Amino acid sequence: MTDHANTPDTTVTRRGLLAGAGALVIGFSLPLSGRRGALAAADDGPVWKTSDEAAQINAWLRIGPDGSVTVVTGRSEMGQGPTTALPQALAEELGVPMDRVTFAMSPVDPAYNNTLFGAMITGGSTSVKSDFEQMRRAGASAREMLKAAAAEKWGVDAAELKVENGTISHAHHSATFGELAGAAAEMEAPKDVALKKPADWTLIGTDVKRLDTHAKATGQATFGIDVVVPDMLHAAILQAPTFGATLESVDAKPATDMKGVAQVVELDDAIMVLADTWWTADQALSKLSPKWTGGAEDLDDAKVDRVLTEGLDAAEAAQAVSEGDADGALSGAAKTVEATYSAPYLAHLTMEPMTATADVRADKAELWLPTQAQTWTAGAVAKAVGLKPEQVTIHTTFLGGGFGRRAEQDFALQAAQASKAAGRPVKLVWSRPQDVRHDFYRPASKVRFTVGLDEDGLPMAWKARVCCPSIAQRMLPSMIKEGVDPFAVEGLTERAYALPADRSITYVMPELAVPVGFWRSVGHSQNGFFMEAMIDELADAAGMDPLEYRRKLLPQDSRHRRVLDAAADAIGWSEAPAEGRHRGIAVHESFGSIAAEAIEVSVDGDNKVTLHRASACVDCAVAVNPNIIRQQMESALVYGLTAAMFGGVSLKNGQVQEGNFDRIDVMRLRHMPPVEVRIIAEGDAEMGGIGEPGTPPAAPALVAALRRATGKPIRSLPLTAEGFTFG
């Protein structure tokens, strides 16, 4: 039933948005009355309630009689902070202090589309970049409407009014936003508004406290698993254990005989038990012995390795980069370095398992769920249950982690099918083993580099062959150009370093039955490791310090070089580490930002690794909320380190072997070294993303440090599979 052909394609590409966001016209449309109607629907949701008396000034903003400001956003909150940074941007122009600002999640409506994707999607580290100008315009427009209301009330010229701290004043008059909101909502919205110059910002660029911490620290925040809908049933699910297998038959009786069980629902590739509690449903599920048929039973780790290696050796390949004559140049190299790198399939492991609550009726459907892709979900659900997308209402809850996993629609479709079958609302919650075994994994990948060095040890010929399963094939097929999936090669094809003029990068798309999808930083997650680990090996081959080698390959005025220098400085690179300590450093650009990280380790005689210190620096050009950026850099570092240290699922008989946190480890508090984070936000560059760029440099920095500590090449992850343990 997980019919991913349902996923709408989009012609907006990530690369396009990174390259050409400046040329994009922000679709700032003022709300129509229909929009106001649509927005009202958001108030019915269980997530946030706002005063009924609040005046809606435009699609993104409501002001209550008490002067409280509610900013409405379509960007999902999964911890990365858009529900603080975006209201902060709006409040800057509106002229209101942040302690009066709160936020609400929008319904599905084009007004709330990610301006870079043309759909309600939270991903690609775009949330703040996408909505930054729109939010400021919404705030400025509202400010002018409030001024117009005050000017009319007092019979004065609006240009003479002063706006400060949620109050509008004139020589003899003063009124709060709350007092003016009702009249302001009736004012004509200005056709154009001037935005403050960055030099005049007083809120943007400051460490405004997150707006979501109170609800989360008190248990009041509603996540997907917390949704309660009257009369709902609870569903547990068992999906075909072998990738690609389908359900042949199941005797439902052992489950339906149990007290509290309402129904067993069969899907093409799964069974669900619906009961009065989730635990009852899950217990009943364990009583069933479904027969599955087909699927990729011959799939195991050895086959993955074989297929990827065959791709490296294949005679035919698509050309991702073809510049000059790499083979010719190689023949004249003073030294040739060849290395093959590999990375495993990775599960996302969000703390909140996959979940959705659905109420599907004959003429409408309503869903409450943690999702990164509201537009896709509405479309896919509509198609699955025979409705039109506009008949589907989506209530976005808080997300207990996303990392790309919640851009998928599988769990929403299952909940919708269950509700349709039961004729009642159903809350589906996956168990952790289901979550681990039925992910859309970060693809396993292999790259073979062949690099020719000149007399000085600098690259003069560059070849790489990439073999990596395609994400775009299923999700965004139009992005595949001349056989190359851009997600498979991103991070390898760019030219931040002064790479040789003679360069060839080829790509082979293997067919493997493991579902793959967006995982925090996507192709950069493995390619950042491959690229930077290779550069590090080249530094060794050239007999140079890895920082110096990189600096030599980066132009004097390069942003990469500045970020690298800052990360090096933060870990004290110029001073040799203490006896027994070793360092690694890496820099990588992704999602419009450049991030560098350095790590200091020691390794004992049993290959037990201790992480002592780390540094991280990001150049994101514009820093809306530095504190959240620091949090995200630490977060991305942990996410990348967890993958490097422990990450990876293993396959046998077409099934993922791991199920719960006992078999699939993550970085714990005791592993985490002190981190110094630095932010560079200056110059004229466009705002970069923040959610993902900190992940790619983590693995290569750690691997470089371990390589120096042990003197052995490390070209495969995770490190636990290479014999390392982490104390």
Partner 1 sequence: MALTLNMTVNGKARKVTVESNALLSDVLRVNLGLTGTHVGCDTSQCGACTVHVDGVSVKSCTMLAAQADGATITTIEGLAAPDGTLHPMQAAFKEHHGLQCGFCTPGMVMSAVDLARCEPNASEEQIREWLEGNICRCTGYHNIVKAVKTGLTDMQSGGKVAAE
Residues that bind partner 1 in the complex, under the rule CB under 8 A: 77-81, 209-210, 212-223, 225-226, 228, 234, 259-260, 277-280, 282-283, 349-353, 398-403, 429, 431-432, 627, 631, 633-635, 637-639, 642, 660-662, 666-670, 672, 674-675
Pick 78 or 255: Cβ nearer partner 1: 78
Pick 163 or 369: Cβ nearer partner 1: 369
Burial class (CB in 10 A: 0-12, 13-18, 19+), 328: exposed
**Sequence-ordered alpha helix ranges (H) in 367-409:** 374-385
Rounded to 5 degrees, φ, ψ at 62 are -125, 145
Pick 403 or 487: Cβ nearer partner 1: 403
Does residue 217 sit in helix, strand or coil?
A: helix
Report the first-to-last Cα separation within the chain, whole angstroms.
43
- Compute the least distance from the CB of residue 674 to partner 1, in Å: 7
Question: Residues 658, 493: contact at Cβ < 8 Å?
Answer: no
Q: CA 721, 671, 664: angle at the middle one, nearest 5?
A: 45
Q: How far apart are CA 325 and CA 251, in angstroms?
A: 64
- Compute the least distance from the CB of residue 433 to partner 1, in Å: 9
- Compute the least distance from the CB of residue 447 to partner 1, in Å: 27
- Compute the least distance from the CB of residue 45 to partner 1, in Å: 15
Our separate counts of H helices and E strands in the chain read 20, 28
Pick 286 or 319: Cβ nearer partner 1: 286
Q: What is the CA radius of gyration of the chain?
A: 27
- Contacting residues for 524 by C-beta, under 8 A, at least 6 apart: 490, 491, 588, 590, 591, 692, 693, 695, 696
Pick 80 or 409: Cβ nearer partner 1: 80
- Compute the least distance from the CB of residue 654 to partner 1, in Å: 24
Q: CA 251, 257, 258: angle at the middle one, nearest 5?
A: 120
Specify the length of the chain in residues: 727
Q: How far apart are CA 28 and CA 515, in angstroms?
A: 37
Specify the residue for token string 């004097």: 556
Closest CA to 317 of 472, 494, 510: 510
Q: What is the DSSP letter of 557?
A: T
- Compute the least distance from the CB of residue 287 to partner 1, in Å: 13
Pick 73 or 506: Cβ nearer partner 1: 73
Q: What is the DSSP letter of 403?
A: T
**Which pairing describes strands 261-266 and 270-275: parallel, antiparallel, or unpaired?**
antiparallel
- Compute the least distance from the CB of residue 639 to partner 1, in Å: 7
- Compute the least distance from the CB of residue 277 to partner 1, in Å: 5
Pick 245 or 664: Cβ nearer partner 1: 664
Closest CA to 119 of 487, 350, 394: 394
Pick 161 or 284: Cβ nearer partner 1: 284
Q: How far apart are CA 495 and CA 497, in angstroms?
A: 5
DSSP string, 248-286: EE---HHHHTSTTEEEEEE-SSEEEEEESSHHHHHHHHH
Question: Residues 690, 620: contact at Cβ < 8 Å?
Answer: yes
Closest CA to 356 of 389, 382, 395, 388: 395
Pick 492 or 638: Cβ nearer partner 1: 638
- Compute the least distance from the CB of residue 354 to partner 1, in Å: 12
- Compute the least distance from the CB of residue 660 to partner 1, in Å: 5
- Compute the least distance from the CB of residue 606 to partner 1, in Å: 21
Specify the residue for token string 């083993």: 433
Burial class (CB in 10 A: 0-12, 13-18, 19+), 118: middle
Bridge partners of 72, per DSSP, are: 104
- Compute the least distance from the CB of residue 487 to partner 1, in Å: 22
- Compute the least distance from the CB of residue 230 to partner 1, in Å: 12
Closest CA to 89 of 71, 106, 116: 71
Pick 82 or 295: Cβ nearer partner 1: 82
Pick 249 or 286: Cβ nearer partner 1: 286
- Compute the least distance from the CB of residue 87 to partner 1, in Å: 16
Question: Residues 636, 629: contact at Cβ < 8 Å?
Answer: no
Q: How far apart are CA 394 and CA 359, in angstroms?
A: 11
Pick 247 or 599: Cβ nearer partner 1: 599
- Compute the least distance from the CB of residue 224 to partner 1, in Å: 10
Pick 213 or 331: Cβ nearer partner 1: 213
Pick 91 or 643: Cβ nearer partner 1: 643
Q: What is the 3-state secondary structure (H, E, C) of 144-195?
A: HHHHHHHHHHHCCCHHHCEEECCEEEECCEEEEHHHHHHHHHCCCCCCCCCC
- Compute the least distance from the CB of residue 210 to partner 1, in Å: 6
Pick 111 or 373: Cβ nearer partner 1: 373
Q: How far apart are CA 242 and CA 226, in angstroms?
A: 30
- Compute the least distance from the CB of residue 668 to partner 1, in Å: 6
Pick 224 or 592: Cβ nearer partner 1: 224
Pick 317 or 599: Cβ nearer partner 1: 599
Closest CA to 708 of 635, 548, 555, 599: 599
Pick 266 or 634: Cβ nearer partner 1: 634
- Contacting residues for 127 by C-beta, under 8 A, at least 6 apart: 75, 80, 82, 85, 86, 114, 691
- Compute the least distance from the CB of residue 439 to partner 1, in Å: 14
Token readout for 516 is: 């793959």
